[in-house]
Amino acid sequence: MIFETHAHYDDEKFDEDRVELLSHLLKENNIGKIINVGASFRGCKESLKLAESYDNVYASLGIHPEEIEDFSEENLQWIKANASNPKVVAIGEIGLDYYWIKDEEGRKKQRIWFKKQLELAKEVKLPVIIHSRDAAEDTLNTIVEYNTEDNKGIIHCYSYSKEIALEYVKMGWFIGVGGVVTFKNAKKLVETVQAVPIENIVLETDCPYMAPVPHRGERNTSIYLKYVAEKIAELKNISIEDVERITYENALRIYSKVKER
Ligand SMILES: [Zn+2]
Q: Is residue 44 part of a domain?
A: yes
Q: Which domain holds residue 111?
A: 2-254
Q: Is residue 259 part of a domain?
A: no
Q: What is the pLDDT along the chain (261 residues), one digit of tens a residue?
A: 999 999 999 999 999 999 999 999 999 999 999 999 999 999 999 999 999 999 999 999 999 999 998 789 999 999 999 999 999 999 999 999 999 888 999 999 999 999 999 999 999 999 999 999 999 999 999 999 999 999 999 999 999 999 999 999 999 999 999 999 999 999 999 999 999 999 999 999 999 999 999 999 999 999 999 999 999 999 999 999 999 999 999 999 999 999 765
**Rounded distance from Cα 6 to ligand 1 centre (Å):** 6
Give exposure, 151-183, as e/b (b: 16+ Cβ within 10 Å): bbbbbbbbbbebebbeebbebebbbbbbbbbbe
**Rounded distance from Cα 145 to ligand 1 centre (Å):** 24
Q: Is residue 260 part of a domain?
A: no
Q: Is residue 237 part of a domain?
A: yes
Q: Is residue 121 part of a domain?
A: yes
Cα–Cα distance measured from residue 137 to residue 35, given in angstroms and rounded to the nearest whole number: 27
Q: Is residue 261 part of a domain?
A: no
Let me know the angle formed at the C-alpha of 184 by 139 and 223, rounded to the nearest 5 degrees. 80
Q: Report the number of distinct structural domains present in the chain.
A: 1
**Rounded distance from Cα 58 to ligand 1 centre (Å):** 14
**Rounded distance from Cα 47 to ligand 1 centre (Å):** 12
Q: Is residue 175 part of a domain?
A: yes
What CATH number does the domain containing 64 carry? 3.20.20.140
Query: 93 preceded by cis ω (within 30°)?
Result: yes
